[in-house]
Amino acid sequence: MAFTMLLITILFISVIQVAIPFLIKRTVVFGVTIPYEQASHPMLQSYKRKYAILTFLVGITVMISYILGNQSAMEETKLVLFGMISLFVVLLTSLSLYFYFHYKTMNLKKREEWFRGVKQVRVADLALRSKDEMLPSYVHLIPSLITVMLIILSAQLFDQLPNQIPTHWGPNGQPDAFTDKSWMSVISLPLILFIFQTMFFGINYYTKRSGIKLNAANVTSAKLRQLRLRKYTSWFLFITNILLTILFSFLQLNLLYENLFNDSVLMLVPFAFFAIILAGALGLAIKVGKVDSDLEGTLVMDHTKKQDSIDEDRYWKGGLIYYNPNDPSIFVEKRFGIGYTINLANPIGYLILFLPVALILLIQFTI
């Protein structure tokens, strides 16, 4: 089971890495802003192809060696470690390749003086927010009702529970680590779930309030992409919230009532969770990635007057990390990948992402 899940993860990550250059916005290549009319420049297209081919080769090699490792009857724990290392190899090589092509693109842009003579403006659409289909943030509070019920139920059953409480589950859904019974160890699962639910609420709330950035050279496609990104990421977040609630409720019920579920169900639930999340991420990447990217095809210039968006590269460290104190947005569209990243100049962003992690770690250490 662990082998299959890791193999699917490696496959998934490799496929996404290969596809990313063709799914990202046309006007940001390897984290570098380029004028819209240069999007089909032969050198840029060749960089993208090289990146895709190299990550593909690395992915294939890693997967084959992992499958061979599985057949050589390796120990289960060693195989899992091998799988994790393989995953990191894929991620690290694609990151190194990203940086290599990031600098190549920057040099090309500088050498050919692309933005010379291009009028750079900022644009916004006053009516766009009325077309925004993001889910309202309060939907993330609805699953919290289940969490509250779980805590009440756990409190009522506290006296009947055994003296050992499971704290960790293996990939087959069976608990493999235990701790002494205490209030904290009995309600730690619903508590962690509640932290996640609050975090999802915060992400949705602050994404909704963040700016909708449009490209001045191709407003129509840019609008469509932004609306899709907002709509589908908010749906993805909500589905993740529901699945996580189901998974945690399931584990907590299993803790409260022994032998409530049989072994095959214990194995199936985490696997279904994992499969739906991956399928959702893939769907999101395709839905968003086919607009205003290379997949969309022909370049359509909106205006006869030559204008392009402001080059904001100086706010992006390495093309990956955003730091812009002037921008009140907390979440902005990622430059290399599908989804959002945080504006590091805004402390609320840190709070939403790091406070939950700190709290969960605290719970883990107190039980």
Partner 1 sequence: MLTIDPESTVPIYLQLRNEIMEAIARGDLSTGDTLPSVRALAGDLGVNMHTVNKSYHELVSKEIIEIVPKKGAVIIVDEGVSNQRLALMSAEFRPLLAEALVRGMKEEELQRLITTIMNNIKED
* DSSP at 135: P
Minimum Å distance from CB 122 to partner 1? 4
Q: Is 280 exposed, middle or buried (0-12, 13-18, 19+ CB in 10 A)?
A: middle
Closest residue by Cα to residue 38 from 126, 139, 117, 140: 117
For the CB of residue 202, give the shortest distance to partner 1 in the complex, in Å: 16
Report the candidate in 336, 341, 340, 339 with the shortest Cα–Cα distance to residue 22.
336
Q: How far is the CB of 335 from partner 1 (least distance, A)?
A: 14
What are the CA-CA distances from residue 168 to residues 22, 173, 189, 239, 364 (Å)? 39, 9, 10, 24, 10
Sign of CA dihedral 213, 227, 14, 278: positive
Contact between 90 and 60 (Cβ < 8 Å): no
* CB count in 10 Å sphere of residue 50: 15
For helices 219-256 and 183-209, the axis angle rounded to 10 degrees is: 170
Quick one: CA torsion of 175, 179, 180, 186, rounded to 10 degrees?
A: -60
Choose between 93 and 221: whose C-beta lies nearer to partner 1.
221
The first and second tokens of residue 187, run together, are 């309600």
Contact set with partner 1 (CB under 8 A) = 119-129, 209-214, 216, 219, 307, 310, 312, 324, 326-329
Instruction: State the nearest-atom distance from the C-beta of 309 to partner 1, in Å.
Output: 9
In contact, 27 and 291? CB cutoff 8 Å: no
Angle at 311 between CA 310 and CA 316, to 5 degrees: 130
In the bound state with partner 1, the residue whose beta carbon lies nearer, of 121 and 361, is 121
Residue 240 or 324: which CB sits closer to partner 1? 324
147/221 with CB nearer partner 1: 221
Nearer to partner 1, 74 or 128 (CB): 128
- Phi/psi at 31 (5° precision): 75, 10
Q: How far is the CB of 310 from partner 1 (least distance, A)?
A: 7
Of 313, 316, 302, 311, nearest in space to 345 by CA: 316
Residue with smaller CB distance to partner 1, 185 or 329: 329
* Shortest separation between residue 304's beta carbon and partner 1, angstroms: 12
C-alpha to C-alpha distances, 58 to 24, 46, 158, nearest whole angstrom: 21, 18, 51
The nearer residue to partner 1, 259 or 326, going by C-beta atoms, is 326
* Minimum distance of partner 1 from residue 187's CB (angstroms): 37
Please identify, using beta-carbon distances, which residue of 111 and 116 lies nearer to partner 1. 116
Output the smallest distance, CB 207 to partner 1, in A.
11
Across 337-363, b (16+ Cβ under 10 Å) vs e yields bbebbbbebbeebeebeeebeebbeeb
Whole-number minimum distance, CB 328 to partner 1, in Å?
Answer: 5
